[in-house]
């Protein structure tokens, strides 16, 4: 996962093609002095135009070939949803595009609240989780008319060796994490099996491919899904597991704050205390994962007998992936990071035993 930085809206002055596109679409122009930007790997601008329209403009950055692939994935999913729309699957309307500049113009849901913000404030409740499950279930029932290339994650190649460029750019904590992963032969075997099974044994469905809580947006009591750049035909367990893995990650993040709250700010995070608080936090989020799972099943999406176990494995990987991204911003691995990695490892190596704990039981 790439680090996300706050972008400055003033950078709009360096990208004149944004206002050129907006004018061509008959939407007016954005005033750089009043525009907001949001964290992410792509430049983006959100604001009101001179004609009074609310727009969110995203430019897909990076390698030209890769950005074009991501650009076309967005168009494919937006088209599928518009032609096979259900009330349970919504995305912000796409107002216009410019392929050469890799620009996408969406209607800006100005008052929308991201799922991760709702989760942090304790406002992502079971009803919302159920509706998220219905949305993902509706997505998995769309026609399979999108990118069929294999998903790049988990990066099993990096579990054997990382390239010099990646090594040189990594921080100490990140290198420590990679070392732990590369020495764990059972974990590597489990991840390789997960990839091989997806490529040869599973009926693949249209999937989001990068599902996180911040990919959900609540606006005027309507739930939207965002960001289709990594969408493709894949194992539906990826999206189900990613949602569950997000809540595991959310639970782990709360351990430090809970220790301060219940045991005092000077408390040392021992392994036993981490396990104790982790069990409490996972129990708190389990009803949300269960509600999502119920909503997913109630969407009438076909579910194969092994999906829950595979989703549990993907949840384990999602947690490891999130922690790997966190390690890239730290100078050392904390005890809570190592304990969280142990939870992810358990979910991967023994998914059948962890499925009920996760909230994905039948």
pLDDT digits (tens, 9 = 90+) for 305-324: 999 999 999 999 999 999 88
At residue 184's C-alpha, the angle toward residues 346 and 2, to 5°, is: 80
CB 101 within 8 A of CB 17: yes
- Strand 43-48 with 216-219, pairing: unpaired
C-alpha 197/C-alpha 310 separation (Å) is 10
pLDDT (0 to 100) of residue 264: 55
The DSSP element (H or E) to which 98 belongs, if any, is strand 94-98
CB 291 within 8 A of CB 133: yes
Enumerate residues 6+ apart whose C-beta is below 8 A from 345.
184, 187, 316, 320
**Looking at residues 247-257, what average pLDDT do you find?**
84
Nearest to 256 by CA among 335, 161, 156: 335
The pLDDT-based confidence of 238 (bands split at 50, 70, 90) is very high
Q: DSSP of 121-163, one letter per residue? A: TT---HHHHHHHHHHHHHHTTS-S-S--SPP--S-GGGGT---
C-alpha 99/C-alpha 242 separation (Å) is 30
Lowest-confidence segment of 18-32, 55-69, 80-94, 130-144 by average pLDDT = 80-94
pLDDT at 256 over 90: no
**Looking at residues 214-235, what average pLDDT do you find?**
96
- Other beta carbons less than 10 A from residue 297's beta carbon: 16
pLDDT at 257 over 60: yes
pLDDT digits (tens, 9 = 90+) for 154-211: 999 999 999 999 999 899 999 999 999 999 999 999 999 999 999 888 899 999 999 9
pLDDT (0 to 100) of residue 13: 80
All domains of the chain in start order, with CATH? 9-111 (3.30.200.20), 149-203+235-358 (no CATH)
The pLDDT-based confidence of 6 (bands split at 50, 70, 90) is very low
**Looking at residues 225-252, what average pLDDT do you find?**
96
**Looking at residues 120-143, what average pLDDT do you find?**
97
Residue labelled with tokens 């525009």: 35
The pLDDT-based confidence of 118 (bands split at 50, 70, 90) is very high
pLDDT at 8 over 70: no
Q: In the 8-state DSSP scheme, what is residue 329?
A: T
**Looking at residues 67-87, what average pLDDT do you find?**
92
pLDDT (0 to 100) of residue 2: 37
């Amino acid at each position: 996962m790439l680090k996300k930085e706050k972008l400055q809206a003033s950078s709009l002055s360096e990208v004149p093609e944004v206002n050129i596109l907006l004018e061509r679409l008959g939407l007016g122009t954005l005033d750089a002095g009043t525009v907001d930007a949001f964290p992410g790997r792509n430049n983006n601008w959100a604001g009101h135009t001179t004609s009074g329209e609310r727009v969110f403009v995203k430019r897909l950055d990076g390698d030209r070939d890769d950005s074009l692939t991501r650009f076309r994935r967005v168009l494919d999913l937006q088209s599928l949803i518009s032609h096979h729309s259900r009330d349970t699957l919504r995305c912000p309307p796409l107002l216009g595009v410019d392929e050469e500049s890799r620009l996408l113009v969406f209607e800006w849901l100005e008052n929308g609240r991201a799922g991760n913000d709702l989760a942090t404030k304790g406002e992502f409740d079971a009803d919302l989780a159920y509706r998220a499950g219905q949305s993902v279930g509706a997505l998995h029932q769309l026609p399979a008319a999108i990118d069929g290339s294999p998903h790049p994650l988990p990066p099993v190649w990096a579990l054997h060796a990382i390239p010099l460029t990646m090594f040189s750019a990594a921080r100490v904590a990140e290198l420590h994490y990679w070392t732990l992963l590369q020495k764990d032969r059972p974990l590597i075997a489990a991840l390789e099996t997960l990839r091989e099974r997806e490529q040869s044994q599973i009926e693949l469905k249209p999937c989001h491919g990068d599902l996180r809580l911040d990919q959900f947006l609540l606006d005027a009591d309507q739930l939207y899904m965002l960001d289709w750049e990594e969408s493709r035909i894949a194992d539906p367990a990826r999206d189900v597991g990613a949602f569950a893995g997000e809540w595991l990650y959310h639970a782990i993040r709360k351990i430090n704050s809970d220790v301060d709250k219940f045991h005092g700010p000077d408390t040392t995070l021992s392994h036993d205390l981490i396990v104790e608080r982790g069990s409490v936090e996972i129990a708190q989020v389990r009803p949300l994962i269960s509600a999502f799972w119920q909503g997913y099943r109630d969407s009438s999406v076909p579910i194969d007998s092994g999906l829950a176990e595979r989703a549990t494995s993907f949840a384990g990987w999602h947690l490891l992936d999130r922690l790997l991204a966190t390690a890239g911003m730290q100078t050392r691995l904390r005890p809570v990071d190592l304990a969280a990695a142990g939870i992810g490892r358990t979910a991967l190596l023994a998914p059948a035993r962890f499925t009920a704990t996760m909230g994905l039981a039948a």
